[in-house]
Structure 1
C-alpha cells in the first residue's frame, strides 16, 4: 500500500460528480489512516475560500464542507498558485490550513517514493 495519496481535483460545480468523488476519496483515505494531500485546481480552487463549499450541492453525496473539513483535519489541502492568481485569490483569502503552492511542489509530492496520485 502507498504511504501517501496525492489527489488533484480539477472539477468544481462545473462537474459536480467528479468533484464530489475526489473529495470523498480524500476524506475516506484520511479516515482510513492514509496520509492525504488534496490539490485544488481549476474550478475546485473556489473551495479554498470560506463558505464556498457550503454552496456546492449534489444529491446523494456527503456534504462538501464535511469532506473538506475532514481532509483539513487529517491531511493537507493545497491551492494551485496559478489557479489562485487567475481568480484573484490570495493567501489571506483562503481557509485556515490551506496553502498555496505550484507545480514544482505537486510534482515533488506525486513523484516521491511510496506515493500514489489521482487526478479528478
Structure 2
C-alpha cells in the first residue's frame, strides 16, 4: 500500500510516491495506491498532465503503469471535499473510504508507505 497525501503543493514528495508505486508494480508487487489530500486532483482526467517536476517521469505515464497491474483508489472524504464523484475520475480509479483502506492495510502481506 502506498498512500500519497501530497500534490502540486509538495511536488517532490508527490512524484516519489508515484515513482515508487510504478517501480513496485513493474517489479511484480501487488500495489494498492491511495490518492488523498491534494493528490486527489490527479484522479481527474488531464490533471496529472499539468504536473511538472524537472527530472521526474510524467505523472500520466506513472498512473498508466500503476493501473496496468495495480489499483488506484481515491479517498471518499477527499473526493467529497473536492466535489469529485465516481463519474468524474479516470476509468479504473475507484473511490473508497477508510474501511477499505484498513482492510487492505491489515491483509497478511501488507506493507504501507505514506508520502
Alignment of 1:37 onto 2:56: no
TM-score w.r.t. structure 1 length?
Answer: 0.95
Of Structure 1 and Structure 2, the greater strand share is in: 1
Cα distance in 2 for partners of 1:90, 1:64 equals 21
Give SS of 1:116's match. Answer: coil
Unpaired runs of at least 5, structure 1: 1-5
Aligned to 1:22: 17
User: How far does the alpha carbon of each residue in 1:87-112 deviate from its partner, in whole angstroms, 9 at most, with x for none?
Assistant: 00000000000000000100110111
Distance 1:70 1:84 in 2: 22
Instruction: Give the deviation of 1:74 after TM superposition.
Output: 1.1
Task: Provide TM-score, normalisation by structure 2.
Answer: 0.99
Q: Please say if 1:114 is aligned against 2:109.
A: yes
Distance 1:18 1:106 in 2: 21
Cα deviations by residue, 1:53-94 (Å, 9 ceiling, x for unpaired):
000000011111100110011100000000000000000000
Flag structure 2 segments of 5+ consecutive residues without an equivalent.
none
How many positions carry a matched residue from both structures? 115
Aligned-partner Cα distance in 1 for 2:57–2:105: 27
Provide the residue aligned with 2:100 in structure 1. 105
The equivalent residue for 2:50 is 55
Give RMSD over aligned pairs.
0.4
